[in-house]
Amino acid sequence: MELAEIQDQQLMELPLFDQIDRNDIRPMLTCLGAFVREYRRKEYAVLDDELMAHVCVLMSGCIFMLKEDQEGHRSILTYIQPGELFGESFALRHSPVTSVSFLAARSSQVLCLPLAKTLHTCSNRCVFHETLVSNLYELLSRKNLALMQKIDILSRDTLRDKLLSFLRLQLTGDSKAGASRGLSIQGSTVTLPMNKSELARYLNVNRTSLCRELHAM
């Protein structure tokens, strides 16, 4: 898909472009050399040990960050929802090679921005480029917070405590939202960003035990 095919409204809804005039977004993306990639469900966006030279912004869909061992076991380290970044941690390294994979959990559109041009303003020194960099740092801080929340979840002693901690984050909106599966907890409906098998991998627990605990709650 070409960048020109993306609707202005879809670009304006991305947090990366907060406080940037809609008339400046497309010229800026052209200046940066940005492009769009589309991925089918279960298609890899980035493979382990791949060179990463772009900051990726998810426009639609859902992307899992996976770690796979030599036996083929997968762990879902985190999940990326529309408006969020991925791959930037590797692109920022002196040796920008990934140590994880990024897999489309469902059909996804990704906006890719070359890192060097994104971080460093051109000779025009446009004000909106400075705003872009500021927004980038804001998104990085949100991502760090989400990873801290996962560490807190995994530090819980029991499976039930892990589940309750995860579900409360979904319920309060302190974590990510925007999925299609609902679960009732204490009279409220929690929206899950993944199915039960994926949730088991995310929490690093046995799926059967997870289903049993969910049924008992």
Residue 195 tokens, joined: 């199915």
Q: Write the DSSP assignment of 30-44 as a string of letters.
A: HHHT-EEEEE-TT-E
At residue 75, the 3 state secondary structure works out as strand
pTM score, two decimals?
A: 0.84
User: Is 3-150 CATH 2.60.120.10?
Assistant: yes
User: Chain centroid to CA 66: how far?
Assistant: 12
How high is the pLDDT of residue 181?
44
Burial class (CB in 10 A: 0-12, 13-18, 19+), 15: middle
75: CB partners within 8 A, 6+ apart = 66, 67, 68, 201, 202, 204
Contact assessment for residue 210 and residue 121, using Cβ atoms and an 8 Å cutoff: no
Element (H, E) at 170: helix 159-172
Structure token digits, residue 33: 């050399």
One digit per residue, pLDDT tens: the chain, 217 residues?
Answer: 788 888 889 999 999 999 999 999 998 999 899 999 999 999 999 999 999 999 999 999 999 999 988 887 889 999 999 999 999 988 888 778 899 999 999 999 999 999 888 888 777 777 788 899 999 999 999 999 988 999 999 999 999 999 999 988 887 765 454 333 445 455 567 777 789 999 999 999 999 999 998 888 7
Dist. CA 217–CA 212, nearest whole Å = 9
Helix (H) or strand (E) holding 85: strand 85-86
Enumerate the domain spans of the chain: 3-150, 156-216
